């Protein structure tokens, strides 16, 4: 039996210190140890992108990361998007709602976290750049057209100086 | 799909890592090194890989760098692929390596996956080994006896196997200066954008007075390891850089290829054919690249 | 009391329907984008254990022994289940055709790779998987039955020995004078087609938490259940429980598309709970389990089909012989999949006679399951491909050939030879619109120019009729008797006039909660924000079915309208009593019961509801203090089939025409979709954004089936696809962003005139892509009659045509 490791991870701004088995994936740690169920698991082998989170502001598949690898790092999940008290949706969330960028919604947190990284680095992406960014996220419901529109809408609304 | 149990160490320094690997090796432990983990994690989840001990290099931040050392591009083993893809230095100094990096998986994978991890993993479908074979690439590794340098031709042994010793850590990848006159291209064929290639070809060559010189062609995704297509290289040497010769080089490359792999997406014959097509396309693209 | 369900939005008691017909934002989305929806794996119960299942590595083998002693002693393990327990406690799962079912776990032999042979409940999934490695199973290998040909050969090994054959069902239908029309045909166009296995693969796999209450013998199953009550009845049968002691709680689902599976996983988790003293047991199928043995493999088909055609292009007959490799058993109701094409056998055309000869065989592949559309996607590919072959043979433009054969607008309602009645349509109008949208002449000009350069461009113009609102009567002749599919709701007003609609199903992605909220808000004259949709557990919900058969949007609309009609009657009675007016003088309008001639005089529904709940002294005699009503809707006017399966089965007939432009890379065989246009008519669009989503999502899955996805088995029946590295679902790069337009021809028979629209694009897209590929290949004299059109498969054809060689590896044209 492998010995547990003490890890300290900041998730959505909150510090967590836990003892975990080394083999525990970050996805399972977030979902089951911390109760952050928004990071969904679709394949557990790094293809579908549903579990995408940000580690130190960079997108990563939580199923391809061990919780111990997150020791000392900052993780952001979909739960970080919504305003904590008012519940107001983040512009990316609102854009997905307004442009009907989801159906079952299972893959959506992964798409939105990927979009967050994209728009932080490139506030005005072309359609090709959006496709390139989202190429690692599978959606079985929407056929992607409305997802593309959602990202465009989010970019438009998040541009500096855009009307709130 | 949960990994089998393993012990875990995350050494804080390179020396510590080497000492640990040596000790574990002496104890007869089955050890795996994890860097970004983007290739290893699925194998752990499927329990295809089930090491007793996992040694995580994630704390070796000293190995996370990309720098110019007197014209040689040196990429620390723990630099992420995305960092390499985004680096202006890499783009200027080694445009082929930069282009190959953009072909790897998706951004989420490139963010976590390391340059060194990919080379050490030596997946035959990876772009990197083939690129290393057509560039002047060297691998720097540190073991209990200190550092040694391994040329690319000696680094890749066979399927997912390199000449690194079990207690050696790959520390850096060094690319000799890439002459501005030199032409390059990489072409691959995958079922979907971002998938591992069914076949791919990387080329570098000079064109002097309209003739091909110092042609290097390597294929990936077709055999147990990346392979130089020497018959085609020889055929093209000194020939005019013209489409019909590139096509012939493709045919020669395809014909000379030993035992391509088969899988559900591509039979050996189809892979052989693809290598020919991609070689010709890559040569054509390279020749057409503005200087 | 006869309830009249409005068949047009204009009939809603509202001056301007404010929600129906608009692309309003979905009520389910704020929670979904927040990541707070309770998908099953987000649910945690006190004392919960985690199940992992040991699966057979062999396609066909006798189980000699199973030793679980080491697993039982392992860390964290609470219970281990084997086939012996299952034999003692269970019956085989329900199947169609009947009698081709397995137990939830192999009891004597395994019939496919991935079949459960043992299971563990432990304190974590990690420990449960560790324990699986300690279970020792001894197998005696049997010869696998890999193909239908092997299965039907005399002396073949038997998948189900007790049946004495591997043929599950053989059935011939004949509609009209088939022999005559083929004898009188000027052309008979026949081909053989192969549709390889594909499947649903929702992003969320199946999952459940089962708790067996040992004190009162009640089983509660929470899970990603698409058809809760149906699932409950099945569990009662397999677990030998009274049906009212099985409670199904449907959680929101991460997609379904028919292929969620669930019976086996539920039964195993339930039995582990029973063995673990009643502790809840969670089972989350992982992706590898899903790909090997989940509900995700469908349509493994061999077709031999022909059209009878007159010299002028009139198609008079359609003959289809189908051999369907169902895999190891019929737990996925394979007869339904094979028989569903009866509802639209001859597509959009006036084909006077047709015949269908279907054979379902058992092999040692995984059992096949439903998938979006159930049977028509392959069937329509066959029909539309034959139409294109005919067009080529007769040198008629494929659009023109279709135009000549369409059922004409004045012929509706139209009864097809296979018996179903199409409610309404105007196929020519949709065709002309899509040809204009795609600029068909320009596409043909582009193709001609490309061909002159030696490039392979292809265009298709492909139709479908989508049978909507399924009914069991469609399947009576293949062993699934019944007429009607109840879908029930309860509509309740509280003391403040807020509205709650209780339904029997949960979210799956199609947006039915939103549709429900739109409809009820418009009828009762409230804002959508005042409406809440809630899923009732199966033991207290009204009779219901859930998602399936392009039905739920229409059915839940009907149920809500029915309940609202009943509420209107009750509220009118109360208002008449309180206002001391004759009920006949009162109408419901804009959320008020008011005087027909003096609208200011009346009461709001909120006032009436409040009064009913708090002032029983003011109620008329005989009226309960209950501002609530239930209604269970089923499609009207359905009938029993005759011996040839002919009946009014599916209520609605939506339709669409797709125009696709593809290019084949001569060097590699790769197919790229360059342009894609769709025009459809699914009657009233209750929420146009939902419809758009269904269309585009269907296109994506169709692209997958046509070009990328395939469950590959080797000759020994070993599956070669067990991860997403090999099962290739399209990404954003592979799915075309389509151009769309539509017509609205309301269904004259369906609630608010809406037709089922969830499956049509899946019927059309694979055919559209394959037909375009064959149009591209036409100059080479080659046809691809197999799906998916993988580059390797296309390349082989190009090799045969000599094209790749002639053109050299770089594809330089001479």
CA nearest C126 in B: which residue? B2
Of the candidates C797, C770, C105, C78, which has an alpha carbon nearest to the alpha carbon of residue C460? C770
Contacts of B251 in chain C (CB under 8 A): 808-809
Ranges of CATH 3.90.1170.50 domains, chain C: 40-142+205-253+261-293
User: What percent of chain C is modeled with pLDDT above 90?
Assistant: 95
Categorize the per-residue pLDDT at C335 as very low, low, confident or very high, splitting at 50, 70 and 90: confident
- How many Cβ atoms sit within 10 Å of the Cβ of residue A50? 27
Closest Cα of chain B to C792: distance in Å? 6
- The mean pLDDT value for A36-60 works out to 98
A42·C75 Cβ contact <8 A: no
The answer on pLDDT for A130 being more than 50 is: yes
Give the Cα separation of C634 and C69 in Å (integer).
Answer: 52
- Which residues lie across from B188 on neighbouring strands? B200
The reply to whether B38 touches chain A by the CB within 8 Å rule is yes
Contacts of A144 in chain C (CB under 8 A): 696, 700, 731-732, 735, 737
A 115-154 residues inside an 8 A Cβ radius of C? 131, 134-148
Question: Residue C6 has which token pair?
Answer: 């409005």
Mutate to test the interface with C, among A100, A104, A151, A153 (most CBs of C within 10 A): A104
- The mean pLDDT value for C601-613 works out to 97
DSSP A65-115: SBGGGGTT-EEE-GGGTS-TTT-PPPHHHHHHHHTT--SS-SSHHHHHHHH
B111·A58 Cβ contact <8 A: yes
Beta strands A58-61 and A52-55: pairing type?
antiparallel
Categorize the per-residue pLDDT at C812 as very low, low, confident or very high, splitting at 50, 70 and 90: very low
Give the Cα separation of C351 and C354 in Å (integer).
Answer: 7
Q: Write the pLDDT tens digit of every residue in C730-779.
A: 999 999 999 999 999 999 999 999 999 999 999 999 999 999 999 999 99
Of the candidates C778, C557, C807, C773, which has an alpha carbon nearest to the alpha carbon of residue C664? C773
CATH superfamily of C40-142+205-253+261-293: Aldehyde oxidase/xanthine dehydrogenase, a/b hammerhead (3.90.1170.50)
Q: Which domains does chain A have, with CATH numbers?
A: 5-80 (3.10.20.30), 91-158 (1.10.150.120)
**Is A101 in contact with A110 (CB distance < 8 Å)?**
no
Of the candidates B13, B48, B12, B16, which has an alpha carbon nearest to the alpha carbon of residue B32? B48
Residue identified by tokens 């009520």 is C27
ipTM of this model?
Answer: 0.98
Q: What is the CA radius of gyration of chain B?
A: 19
Beta strands A74-76 and A5-11: pairing type?
parallel
A42·C287 Cβ contact <8 A: yes
**CB-closest option in A45, A78, A143 to C700:** A143
- Residues of chain B in Cβ contact (below 8 Å) with chain C: 1-5, 42, 46-47, 189, 191-196, 243-244, 246-247, 250-251, 254, 264-267, 270, 273-274, 276-277, 280-281, 284
The answer on pLDDT for A39 being more than 70 is: yes
A65·B7 Cβ contact <8 A: no
A37·C204 Cβ contact <8 A: no
Of the candidates B231, B221, B249, B34, which has an alpha carbon nearest to the alpha carbon of residue B131? B221
Residue identified by tokens 């000869």 is C357
C29·A147 Cβ contact <8 A: no
**CB-closest option in A1, A46, A136 to B41:** A46
The predicted pLDDT at position A163 comes to: 66
In sequence order, the 6+-apart residues with CB closer than 8 A to the CB of B44 are A23, B3, B4, B50
CA nearest A41 in C: which residue? C204
The answer on pLDDT for C807 being more than 50 is: no
A106·C202 Cβ contact <8 A: yes
**CB-closest option in B7, B38, B46 to A22:** B7
Residue identified by tokens 């673990």 is C276
Give the Cα separation of A29 and C140 in Å (integer).
Answer: 41
Q: Write the pLDDT tens digit of every residue in C345-403.
A: 999 999 999 999 999 999 999 999 999 999 999 999 999 999 999 999 999 999 999 99
* Cis peptide upstream of residue C97 (ω within 30 degrees of 0): yes
Of the candidates C284, C296, C317, C267, which has an alpha carbon nearest to the alpha carbon of residue C105? C267
> Which fold would CATH assign to domain B7-56?
3.30.43
Give the Cα separation of C303 and C192 in Å (integer).
Answer: 5
C734·B274 Cβ contact <8 A: no
- Chain mean position to CA B170: 13
The answer on pLDDT for B288 being more than 50 is: yes
Phi, psi of C535 (to 5 degrees): -90, 125
Q: What is the CA radius of gyration of chain A?
A: 16
Contacts of A48 in chain C (CB under 8 A): 203, 287, 724
Ranges of CATH 3.30.365.10 domains, chain C: 9-37+485-633, 301-473+641-807
The CATH number given to C9-37+485-633 is 3.30.365.10
Q: Write the pLDDT tens digit of every residue in C362-372.
A: 999 999 999 99
Of the candidates B54, B38, B45, which has an alpha carbon nearest to the alpha carbon of residue B2? B45
Contacts of A23 in chain B (CB under 8 A): 2-6, 44
Give the Cα separation of C528 and C17 in Å (integer).
Answer: 12
Give the Cα separation of C486 and C476 in Å (integer).
Answer: 17
The answer on pLDDT for C94 being more than 90 is: no
Q: Write the pLDDT tens digit of every residue in B24-45.
A: 999 999 999 999 999 999 999 9
Among C78-82, C275-279, C633-637, C807-811, which is the least confidently predicted range? C807-811
Per-residue HEC secondary structure of C425-448 comes to CCHHHHHHHHHHHHCHHHHHHHHH
Helices vs strands, H then E, count in chain C? 21, 29
Contacts of C33 in chain A (CB under 8 A): 78, 81, 89, 93, 96-97, 102, 105, 108-109, 112
User: Does an H or E element contain C72, and which?
Assistant: helix C69-72
Give the Cα separation of B182 and B150 in Å (integer).
Answer: 24
Contacts of A41 in chain C (CB under 8 A): 41
A43·C724 Cβ contact <8 A: yes
- How many Cβ atoms sit within 10 Å of the Cβ of residue C116? 25
B192·C791 Cβ contact <8 A: no
Domain boundaries, given as residue ranges, for chain B: 7-56, 64-175, 183-288
Categorize the per-residue pLDDT at C814 as very low, low, confident or very high, splitting at 50, 70 and 90: very low
| CA angle, B29 then B31 then B35, to 5° | 160
Give the Cα separation of C569 and C1 in Å (integer).
Answer: 10
Of the candidates A135, A141, A87, A140, which has an alpha carbon nearest to the alpha carbon of residue A115? A135
C733·B270 Cβ contact <8 A: no
Of the candidates B124, B74, B145, B144, which has an alpha carbon nearest to the alpha carbon of residue B226? B124
The neighbours of chain B, by the rule of 3 or more Cβ pairs under 8 Å, are: A, C
Question: CB pairs below 8 Å between A and B: how many?
Answer: 91
Give the Cα separation of C472 and C483 in Å (integer).
Answer: 5
> Which fold would CATH assign to domain B64-175?
3.30.465
- Chain mean position to CA C705: 15
Among B94-98, B245-249, C808-812, which is the least confidently predicted range? C808-812
**CB-closest option in C25, C39, C725 to A98:** C25
Sign for the CA dihedral angle at A133, A135, A137, A138 comes to positive
Categorize the per-residue pLDDT at C809 as very low, low, confident or very high, splitting at 50, 70 and 90: very low
A 39-68 residues inside an 8 A Cβ radius of B? 44-46, 49, 52, 55, 58-61, 63-66, 68
| Helices C427-438, C440-452: inter-axial angle, 10-degree rounding | 50
Q: Write the pLDDT tens digit of every residue in B128-177.
A: 999 999 999 999 999 999 999 999 999 999 999 999 999 999 999 999 99
User: What percent of chain A is modeled with pLDDT above 90?
Assistant: 94
B42·C129 Cβ contact <8 A: no
The reply to whether A25 touches chain C by the CB within 8 Å rule is no
CA nearest B105 in C: which residue? C725
**CB-closest option in B8, B10, B42 to A46:** B42
B111·A1 Cβ contact <8 A: no
Categorize the per-residue pLDDT at C102 as very low, low, confident or very high, splitting at 50, 70 and 90: confident
The answer on pLDDT for C532 being more than 50 is: yes
Contacts of C508 in chain A (CB under 8 A): 104
Residue identified by tokens 């510090």 is A15
- How many Cβ atoms sit within 10 Å of the Cβ of residue C806? 12
Reduced to 3 states (helix: H, G, I; strand: E, B; else coil), residue B185 is: strand
A104·C254 Cβ contact <8 A: yes
Give the Cα separation of A27 and A16 in Å (integer).
Answer: 15
Give the Cα separation of C673 and C310 in Å (integer).
Answer: 33
CA nearest C693 in A: which residue? A142
Of the candidates B48, B57, B288, which has an alpha carbon nearest to the alpha carbon of residue B168? B57
Contacts of B8 in chain A (CB under 8 A): 2, 5, 22, 66, 68
- The mean pLDDT value for C641-667 works out to 97
Closest Cα of chain A to B110: distance in Å? 9
Q: What is the CA radius of gyration of chain C?
A: 28
Categorize the per-residue pLDDT at C16 as very low, low, confident or very high, splitting at 50, 70 and 90: confident
Q: Which residues of C357-396 are buried (b: 16+ CB within 10 A; e: fewer)?
A: ebbbbbbbbbbbbbbbbbbbbbbbbbbbbbbbbbbbebeb
**CB-closest option in B3, B38, B107 to A46:** B38
> Which fold would CATH assign to domain B183-288?
Enolase-like; domain 1 (3.30.390)
Contacts of C685 in chain A (CB under 8 A): none
C708·B191 Cβ contact <8 A: yes
Indicate the average pLDDT of chain C. 96
The CATH number corresponding to C301-473+641-807 among 1.10.8.60, 3.30.9.10, 3.50.50.60, 3.30.365.10 equals 3.30.365.10
Contacts of A136 in chain C (CB under 8 A): 731
Q: Which residues of C604-634 are buried (b: 16+ CB within 10 A; e: fewer)?
A: bbbbbbbbbbeeeeebeeeeeeebbbbbbbb
């Amino acid at each position: 039996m492998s010995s547990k490791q003490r890890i300290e991870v900041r998730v959505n701004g909150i510090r967590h210190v836990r003892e975990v088995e080394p083999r525990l994936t970050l996805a399972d740690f977030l979902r089951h140890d911390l109760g952050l169920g928004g990071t969904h698991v679709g394949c557990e082998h790094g293809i579908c992108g549903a579990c995408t989170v940000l580690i130190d502001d960079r997108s990563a598949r939580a199923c391809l990361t061990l919780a111990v690898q997150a020791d000392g790092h900052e993780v952001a999940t979909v739960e970080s998007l919504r305003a904590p008290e008012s519940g107001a949706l983040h512009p990316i969330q609102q854009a997905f709602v307004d442009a009907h960028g989801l159906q079952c919604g299972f893959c959506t947190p992964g798409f939105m976290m990927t979009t967050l990284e994209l728009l932080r680095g490139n506030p005005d992406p072309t359609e090709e750049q959006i496709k390139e960014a989202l190429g690692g996220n599978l959606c079985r419901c929407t056929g992607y057209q409305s997802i593309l529109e959602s990202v465009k809408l989010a970019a438009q609304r998040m541009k500096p100086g855009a009307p709130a | 799909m949960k990994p089998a149990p393993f012990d875990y160490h995350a050494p804080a320094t390179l020396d510590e890592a080497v000492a640990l690997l040596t000790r574990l090796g002496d104890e007869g432990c089955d050890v795996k090194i994890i860097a970004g983990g983007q290739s290893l994690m699925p194998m752990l989840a499927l329990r295809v890989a089930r090491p007793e001990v996992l040694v995580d290099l994630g704390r070796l931040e000293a190995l996370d760098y990309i720098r110019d050392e007197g014209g040689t591009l040196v990429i620390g083993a723990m630099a992420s692929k995305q960092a390499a893809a985004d680096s202006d230095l890499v783009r200027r100094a080694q445009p082929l390596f930069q282009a190959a990096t953009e072909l790897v998986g998706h951004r989420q994978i490139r963010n976590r996956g390391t340059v060194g991890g990919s080379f050490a993993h030596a997946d035959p479908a990876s772009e990197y080994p083939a690129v290393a074979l057509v560039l002047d690439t060297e691998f720097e590794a540190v073991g209990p006896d200190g550092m040694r340098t391994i040329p690319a031709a000696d680094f890749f042994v066979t399927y997912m196997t390199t000449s690194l010793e079990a207690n050696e850590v790959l520390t850096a990848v060094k690319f000799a200066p890439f002459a501005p006159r030199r032409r390059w291209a990489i072409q691959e064929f995958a079922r979907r954008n971002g998938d591992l290639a069914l076949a791919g070809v990387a080329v570098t060559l000079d064109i002097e007075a309209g003739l091909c010189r110092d042609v290097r062609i390597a294929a990936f995704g077709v055999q147990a390891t990346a392979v130089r297509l020497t018959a085609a290289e020889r055929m093209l040497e000194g020939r005019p850089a013209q489409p019909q010769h590139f096509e012939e080089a493709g045919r020669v490359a395809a014909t000379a290829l030993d035992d391509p792999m088969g899988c559900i997406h591509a039979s050996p014959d189809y892979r052989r054919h693809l290598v020919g097509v991609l070689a010709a396309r890559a040569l054509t693209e390279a020749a057409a690249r503005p200087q | 009391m006869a309830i009249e369900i409005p068949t047009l939005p204009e009939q809603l008691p509202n001056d301007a329907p404010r929600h129906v017909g608009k692309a309003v934002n979905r009520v389910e989305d704020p929670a979904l984008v927040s990541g707070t929806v309770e998908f099953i794996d987000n649910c945690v119960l006190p004392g919960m254990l985690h199940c992992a299942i040991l699966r057979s590595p062999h396609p066909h083998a006798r189980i000699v022994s199973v030793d679980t002693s080491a697993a039982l002693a392992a860390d964290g393990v609470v219970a281990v289940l084997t086939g012996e327990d299952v034999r003692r406690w269970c019956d085989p799962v329900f199947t169609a055709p009947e009698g081709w079912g397995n137990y939830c776990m192999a009891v004597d032999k395994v019939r496919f790779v991935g079949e459960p042979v043992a299971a563990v409940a432990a304190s974590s999934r990690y420990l449960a998987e560790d324990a699986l490695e300690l279970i020792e199973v001894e197998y005696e290998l049997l010869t696998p039955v890999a193909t239908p040909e092997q299965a039907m050969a005399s002396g073949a090994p038997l998948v189900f020995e007790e049946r004495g054959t591997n043929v599950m069902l053989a059935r011939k239908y004949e509609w009209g004078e088939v022999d005559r029309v083929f004898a009188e045909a000027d052309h008979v166009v026949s081909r053989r087609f192969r549709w390889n296995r594909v499947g649903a693969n929702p992003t969320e796999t199946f999952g459940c938490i089962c708790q067996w209450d040992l004190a009162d013998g009640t089983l509660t199953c929470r899970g990603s259940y698409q058809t809760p009550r149906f699932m409950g009845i099945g569990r009662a049968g397999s677990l030998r429980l009274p049906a009212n002691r099985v409670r199904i709680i449907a959680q929101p689902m991460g997609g379904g598309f028919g292929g969620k599976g669930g019976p086996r996983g539920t039964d195993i988790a339930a039995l582990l709970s029973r063995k673990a003293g009643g502790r809840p047991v969670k089972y989350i199928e992982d992706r590898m389990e899903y790909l090997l043995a989940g509900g995700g493999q469908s349509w493994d088909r061999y077709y031999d089909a022909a059209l009878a055609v007159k010299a002028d292009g009139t198609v008079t007959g359609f003959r289809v012989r189908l051999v369907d490799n169902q895999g190891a058993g019929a737990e996925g109701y394979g007869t339904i999949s094979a028989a569903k094409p009866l509802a639209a056998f001859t597509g959009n055309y006036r084909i006077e006679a047709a015949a269908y000869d279907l054979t379902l065989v058992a092999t040692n592949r995984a059992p096949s399951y439903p998938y979006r559309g159930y049977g028509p996607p392959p069937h329509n590919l066959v029909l539309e491909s034959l139409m294109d072959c005919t067009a080529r043979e007769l040198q008629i433009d494929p659009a023109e050939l279709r135009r000549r054969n369409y059922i004409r607008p004045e012929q509706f309602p139209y009864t097809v030879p296979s018996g179903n009645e199409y409610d309404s349509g105007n196929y020519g109008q949709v065709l002309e619109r899509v040809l204009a949208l795609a600029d068909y002449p320009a596409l043909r000009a582009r193709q001609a120019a490309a061909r002159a350069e030696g490039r392979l461009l292809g265009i298709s113009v492909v139709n479908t009729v989508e049978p909507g609102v399924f009914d069991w009567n469609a399947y009576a002749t293949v062993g699934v008797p019944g007429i009607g599919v109840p879908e029930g709701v309860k509509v309740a007003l509280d003391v403040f006039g807020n509205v709650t609609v209780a339904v029997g199903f949960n979210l799956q992605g199609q947006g039915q909660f939103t549709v429900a909220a739109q409809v009820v808000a418009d009828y009762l004259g409230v804002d959508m924000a005042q409406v809440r949709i809630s899923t009732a557990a199966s033991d207290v919900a009204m009779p219901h079915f859930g998602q399936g058969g392009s039905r739920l949007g229409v059915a839940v609309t009907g149920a809500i309208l029915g309940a609202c009609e009943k509420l209107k009657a009750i509220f009118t009675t109360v208002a008449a009593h309180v206002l001391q007016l004759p009920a006949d003088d009162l109408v419901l309008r804009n959320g008020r019961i008011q005087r027909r001639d003096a609208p200011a005089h009346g009461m709001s529904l909120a006032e009436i509801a409040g009064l009913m709940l708090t002032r029983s002294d003011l109620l008329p005699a005989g009226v309960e203090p209950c501002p609530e009503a239930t209604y269970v809707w089923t499609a009207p006017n359905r009938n029993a089939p005759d011996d040839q399966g002919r009946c009014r089965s599916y209520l609605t007939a939506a339709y669409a025409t797709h125009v696709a432009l593809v290019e084949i890379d001569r060097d590699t065989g790769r197919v790229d979709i360059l342009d894609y246009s769709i025009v459809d008519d699914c009657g009233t669009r209750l929420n146009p954004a939902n419809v758009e989503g269904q269309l585009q999502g269907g296109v994506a899955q169709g692209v997958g089936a046509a070009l990328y996805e395939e469950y590959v088995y080797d000759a020994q029946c070993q599956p070669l696809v067990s991860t997403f590295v090999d099962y290739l679902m399209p990404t954003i790069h592979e799915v075309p962003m389509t151009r769309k337009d539509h017509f609205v021809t309301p269904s004259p028979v369906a609630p608010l005139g809406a037709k089922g629209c969830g499956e049509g694009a899946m019927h059309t897209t694979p055919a559209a892509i394959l037909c375009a590929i064959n149009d591209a290949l036409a100059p080479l004299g080659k046809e691809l009659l197999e799906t998916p059109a993988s580059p390797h498969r296309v390349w082989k054809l190009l090799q045969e045509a000599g094209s790749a060689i002639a053109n050299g590896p770089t594809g330089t044209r001479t």
